[in-house]
Amino acid sequence: MFASSALIGLGAAPDPVTGAQRVDFEQAQEAIETLLLLRAKTEGNRTEQESRFLEDVLYDLQMRYVQATRRAGRPG
């Protein structure tokens, strides 16, 4: 859910309600920060597979965020 919200905010996926693609860096950043918080709060309570999945998702979203903000001429 948070990963989808970040992708929508980055313009990488359409809004499920409107079908429109838009860029909202604040939405993307908040979703990524929420995932980072969940990672911290669930430390020691995840399986190795869950941890690996979460790390992969976070890495992908953070890289997409940096690339998108650079393309838009904003500091990442």
| Sequence-separated contacts (24+) of 30-37 with Cβ below 8 Å | 30/5, 31/2, 31/3, 31/5, 31/6, 31/61, 32/2, 32/6, 32/58, 32/61, 32/62, 32/65, 34/2, 35/2, 35/3, 35/6, 35/61
Average pLDDT over residues 4-29: 96
Tell me: pLDDT of 74 over 90: no
Residue 75, pLDDT score: 72
Average pLDDT over residues 51-64: 98
Per-domain boundaries in the chain = 2-71
